Structure 1
Amino acid sequence: MNPYVGGRTALVTGGGSGLGAAIAGALVEAGARVIVVGRDEQKLTAVAAKHGGAVRVAVADVATPLSVAGLAAELADEDISILVNNAGIPGPVAALTDIEPDEWDEVFAVNVRGVYLMCREFVPGMVAAGRGDVINLASVSGKRPLARRTPYCASKMAVIGLTTTLAAEVGPLGVSVNSLSPGPVDSARMHRNFRLEAERTGTNYEQAEQAFVSRAALGRMVTEQEVASSVLAMLAMPGLCAADIDLSAGMVAR
C-alpha cells in the first residue's frame, strides 16, 4: 500500500473514461478509496465494476453550480482528502475568428469553472481537517502555441493560474494545490485531432501525427498510465505546492 495514498479517499472528476479512469485505477491500486464523478452514469459504473467496492459512483456536471452543490451534499459522509480535477473538453478546432462565443464559453465552463466549483465545494473540508491535496489537470497547450485551439489553450493556462493562487491561499492551512500538464496523450481525443489536422492540411493521418510528435524530445506522446503514475508521484512529494509539472515527453523545455 502506498503510504501517501493508502487509506485516503480521492475524488476524480471526468472519471468515466480516458485519463480519469486511468487515474482512478492507479489510486485504487495504491490503496485509496475512490469516487469517480462524471455525467455518464453508465461509463462511471463500468469503471467502478473493475475495482469492486473500492470505487463509488457519483453523477454530476462539474460546470453547473447546482449540480456540484448537490454532489457535495451527496458526499457529505466522505472524508475526501484528495481531489483530482480531470474533467475537461477539447473544444473546437478552428481559427479564433471562426469560433462562436457559445463554443468558447462551453470550453471555459467545463475546463475552468468546473475546477473552480469543485474546489469551492471540497477544499473547505480539507482546510477544516488541516490536510489535503488538490491536483488540477492542465496541459502543455496552455504554455505553448497550438494553432486553431485557442479556447482550449487559454482555458488550460487559466487552470494553472487558478492553481497557483489557490495554493497561496490554502497552502498555509495544510492543503497542497498543484497542476499537472500532460503533453499530447495517446488517446481517442488526439487521434481525432490528427484526423482533423490531416483534413485541414491535405496530408494523411500518419503525416499529421508525425508533425506533432516530432516536437517532443522523446518523439512520442505520453500514455494515460504515465499520467496516472505522475499523479501518484505528485502525491508522494509532501513539499510540492503551487507547482505545475510538465509531462510532455520533452515537448516543453524550460
Structure 2
Amino acid sequence: MSDTGPGHDPIRGRTALVTGAGNGLGRAMALTLGARGARVVLVGRRAQTLGEVAAEIDGPTRTAVCDTSSPEQVAALGEELAGEEVSILVNNAGIAGPVASLIDVTPSEWDEVFAVNVRGVYLMCRQFLPPMVARGAGDVVNIASVSGKRPLPNRTPYAASKMAVIGLSTTLAYEVGPAGVMVNTLSPGPVSGPRMTRNFALEAERSHTSVQEAERAFVSRAALGRMVTESEVAAALVAMLQMPGLCGADIDLSAGMVAR
C-alpha cells in the first residue's frame, strides 16, 4: 500500500482483481470491495455469472473470462487487462475435488485439483506481480483453507493443495516484500453455502448417514459450533487490506475450527 497516512482508505480508488468471482466467496468479496470503492475486475469461467455479479456492484467494474489454470489463458488475460493498474489481487478460484479415500482418488482427479488450486495461483501471481513490484506497492491475498491444519478425512487432494497455497504465499512474501508488495493468505474454515451442502451430501452417501448428521459432525469441530459466512470472509479480506505491515501472514477465519 503506497499511502498509510491518517484518513487514507487503503481500498477506495484501487483496482482489485478477484478470481472465481462469479459465485460464492468470490462474489461476496467482489461485492464488498466494490462497496468500499474499488474498481473491481471480476474473473471466472462463465461470462453470464460474472455479468450478474458486476450488475450488483454500484461502481466501476470489468469482467473477463479466464481459466486460471491455463498458462495461455492467463497470458491472454494479462494482455486484455494491460491498461488496468491492478494493485489488489485476490486469488480465490478453486475446486473442492473428490470426496474419497486417498487410495480411491485417481491421478487425473488429483492433478485437476492442483491445477486449479495451486497452479492457478502461481500463474496469476506470475502475471500480475511484476507491475506491482515495479510500482513498489500492491496486495496479494491468496485464499487457502484451514483444511490440512487438522485432519479432514477423504479430502486429501483439497487439503494438500490448500496447504501448498500457504507455502507458496509465505515464500513469495519474502521474495516481493522488499519491493513493497504484501502477500498473505486468508484461510477460511467451512463456509456455509452450496459447496458445503454438496460436500455433506457426498459424505452422507459415503458414510451411510443423513446430510444433517454429516453437517453436525463437521461443525462440531468448531469452537462456535457453526460454519463461517461468506460475508464474514469478505470482511476479513477488507480487514487484512487495512493492516499496514501484514506480510507473509496466514489468517484463520474458522469459527474456531482451528485454534492456535
TM-score by length of 1: 0.98
Q: Is 1:151–2:157 an aligned residue pair?
A: yes
Tell me the distance in 1 between the aligned counterparts of 2:61 and 2:95: 24
Tell me the distance in 1 between the aligned counterparts of 2:197 and 2:189: 14
Q: Is 1:75–2:81 an aligned residue pair?
A: yes
Q: What is the letter of the counterpart of residue 49 of structure 2?
A: K
Runs of 4 or more above 4 Å deviation:
none
By how many angstroms is 1:2 displaced?
A: 7.6
Structure 2: gaps of 5 or more residues: 1-6
Residue aligning to 1:55: 61
Residue aligning to 1:7: 13
Specify which of 86, 90, 93 is matched with residue 92 of structure 2: 86
Tell me the distance in 1 between the aligned counterparts of 2:210 and 2:231: 28
Deviations 1:18-61 (A, max 9, x none): 00000000001111000000110111011111125522101111
Q: Is 1:238–2:244 an aligned residue pair?
A: yes
Between the aligned residues of both structures, percent identity stands at: 69
Tell me the distance in 2 between the aligned counterparts of 1:53 and 1:246: 30
Q: Is 1:34–2:40 an aligned residue pair?
A: yes
Deviations 1:186-243 (A, max 9, x none): 0101001111111122211111111110110000000000000000000000110000
Superposition RMSD on alpha carbons, in Å? Answer: 1.0
Instruction: Report matched runs for 1:121-132 at 5 Å.
Output: 121-132=127-138
The answer (yes or no) to whether the contact 1:2–1:31 under 8 Å persists in 2 is no
Moved more, 200-209 or 132-141: 200-209
Residue aligning to 1:210: 216
Q: What is the letter of the counterpart of residue 64 of structure 2?
A: A
Tell me the distance in 2 between the aligned counterparts of 1:151 and 1:176: 27
The answer (yes or no) to whether the contact 1:2–1:30 under 8 Å persists in 2 is no
Specify which of 19, 26, 37 is matched with residue 20 of structure 1: 26
How many pairs were matched up? 254
Q: Is 1:192–2:198 an aligned residue pair?
A: yes
Tell me the distance in 2 between the aligned counterparts of 1:213 and 1:38: 29
- Helix, strand or coil at the partner of 1:61: coil
By how many angstroms is 1:142 displaced?
A: 2.7
Residue aligning to 1:166: 172
